[in-house]
Amino acid sequence: MALGLLDSEEFCCSICLDLLKDPVAIPCGHSYCMECINDYWKKNDNLGVFSCPQCTETFSPRPVLNRNTILGDMVDKLKKLELLGNSHIYDNCIPGDMTCDF
């Protein structure tokens, strides 16, 4: 599939609203920047229950996070396209416009 046919929202973190950095997928399937989801979960660390900011599915114990290499590679390709003058690729990352599964 050509990157030009993909919706740039799919590569934005719904926490920081920026292009994903070190993307990780949590057990419900949603993806975030590694740092963003770790910071989000640190706020609830004492409760022992962790949730997805988008669908609110809960996880206990805290899921182990591993970098999603395929998604990371796709984000890197988007960044390269931006350097070639296609900066509009991820200008759509604005609050309230994130795709949601529910």
pLDDT in tens, 60-78: 899 999 999 999 999 988 8
| Count of structural domains, the chain | 1
pTM over 0.75: no
Is residue 50 situated within a structural domain? yes
Compute and round to an integer the Cα radius of gyration of the chain.
14
Other beta carbons less than 10 A from residue 75's beta carbon = 21
Is residue 17 situated within a structural domain? no
CA 40 from chain centre, in angstroms, equals: 13
Is residue 22 situated within a structural domain? no
| Per-residue pLDDT tens over the stretch 10-47 | 789 999 999 999 999 999 999 999 999 999 999 877 88
Quickly tell me which residue has 């740092």 as its tokens. 35
User: Which domain range does residue 44 map to?
Assistant: 35-85
- Amino acid 59: pLDDT: 92
